[in-house]
Amino acid sequence: MKEIIEKLRQSFIGDLAKADSSAQVNELRISYLGKKGSVTDLLKQLKDIKGSEKKTVAEGINALKSFVESEIAAKTALIAKREEDAAIEATERYDVTMPSAERLGSLHPVTIIQREVEEIFESMGFTIEDYSEIVTDYQCFESLNIPKHHPARDMQDTYYIENGQLLKTHTSAAQNAIMRKYGAPLRAVFPSRCFRNEATDASHENTFFQMEGIMIDENISISNLIYFMKSMLSEVFRKDINVRLRPGFFPFVEPGFELDISCLICGGDGCPTCKQSGWLELCPCGMIHPNVLTAGGIDTEKYTGFAFGLGLTRLVMMKYGIKDIRMLNSGSLDALSQFTSK
Ligand code: DAH
């Protein structure tokens, strides 16, 4: 009996080597393990064997059965993989990294300018921060020295959401969190989309971009503010830009300013764009109010700082000469792609 089992094993090994498709392996399975299969047949013969030999023979046949089962399973898996590979090979292949033959996408003008300004500030040692568009009342107002019922809130008609949080009306809303995250000294810029319930027209949108910046250290003064703004704007416009400061009121800075740049169209001589003044309003800014520093956990005995809220959307419009702000959110590729050839 031992020889019969061994012979069957050898013939199975030979047959398996020849089986080359899943159908053939299946036939093999039936011919060895099926109801009338040769291994099954051997098992049936067991009943005729008597005495002590029966146990050894039974073990031998069962070992053969397990061997056949596991070899068939392995070969089935191998063939399935090979057949799958062949099927993939036979179908048409797509290179998902190939540029489209149709129309190439491009960056939005705001993205282009945002990245450019980020790079400039990065080269001046500023970190670039990202922050949520949904913030708390505390972050957007209270921590910025704008208590409840302060009239400054009326300037920013706010979208509240049901849980009491709100869509940030200005990037200043991230100041507190960023001060708390890093402490002083600190140089950071943080761009974001902002939202206000505005009636839209050529120069007003309910969704627009700002880029806030803060610099906090020992002995920071207005001269530092002017220096950084001038350097940044000269880089963005690739020419020397004159700036001037006018007083401006914002509860979170003291003193506060409106920063104007010399008109890009007429160079400061006066034209319709600058309403004959020679200046364009671009960026409110100021020295951070001690209450705001304290709320951010900064020691006001030791540190001072400046902050600015660059109107990124406004900057984009100036840089590209865009007359209607609504175009930027229009999603119209025809309109937007004029500016995005790079
Ligand atoms: N957050 C103000 C606004 O959107 C702009 C602003 C003014 C930001 C003065 C500043 C600042 O950082 O110093 O109306």
Ligand 1 atom 6: the closest Cα is on which residue?
A: 309
3-state secondary structure of 188: strand
| Inter-residue contact 326 to 200 (CB < 8 Å) | yes
CB 191 within 8 A of CB 168: no
Q: Whose CA is nearest to atom 7 of ligand 1?
A: 284
Q: Give residue-wise pLDDT tens across range 247-267.
A: 999 999 999 999 998 888 788
Atom number in ligand 1 closest to CA 286: 13
Q: Are strands 243-247 and 253-262 parallel, antiparallel or unpaired?
A: antiparallel
One-letter amino acid at 219 equals N
Specify the length of the chain in residues: 342
Over residues 105-125, mean pLDDT:
92
Residue 340, pLDDT above cutoff 80: no
Q: Which of 1-15, 27-41, 76-90, 297-311 has the highest mean pLDDT?
A: 297-311
16: which 2 tokens?
């398996």
| pLDDT above 50: residue 96 | yes
In angstroms, the CA 179 to CA 253 distance is 15
Report how far residue 196's alpha carbon sits from residue 199's, in angstroms, rounded to the nearest whole number: 9
Amino acid, single-letter form, for residue 119: E
pLDDT of 341 reads 57
Instruction: Collect all residues with Cβ–Cβ distance below 8 Å to 139 and sequence separation of at least 6.
Output: 168, 173, 174, 176, 177
Q: What is the mean pLDDT of the chain?
A: 90
Highest mean pLDDT among 164-168, 281-285, 330-334: 164-168
Element (H, E) at 73: helix 53-90
CA of 94 to the centre of ligand 1 (A): 50
Mean pLDDT of 24-53: 88
- Closest-CA residue, ligand 1 atom 13, reads 285
Burial class (CB in 10 A: 0-12, 13-18, 19+), 238: exposed
C-alpha torsion 226→228→234→240, nearest 10: 40
Give the pLDDT confidence score for residue 140 in this predicted structure: 97
Residue 181, amino acid: K
Q: Which pLDDT does position 342 carry in this prediction?
A: 47
For the chain, the helix, strand and coil percentages under 3-state DSSP, each to the nearest 5: 45, 20, 35
Per-residue pLDDT at 61 exceeds 50? yes
- For the 109-336 domain, the top CATH level (class) is alpha beta
289 C-alpha to center of ligand 1: Å?
12
Please determine, for residue 232, whether its predicted confidence score (pLDDT) is greater than 90.
no
CA of 307 to the centre of ligand 1 (A): 8
Report which protein residue has its CA nearest ligand 1's atom 11.
Answer: 285
Q: pLDDT band for 331, please (50, 70, 90 cuts).
A: confident
Query: Kind of pairing, strands 186-195 and 127-128?
Result: parallel
* pLDDT the model gives residue 208: 95
Indicate the pairing of strand 304-311 with strand 279-288. Answer: antiparallel
Averaged pLDDT for residues 25-45:
90
How confident is the model over 213-236, as a mean pLDDT?
93
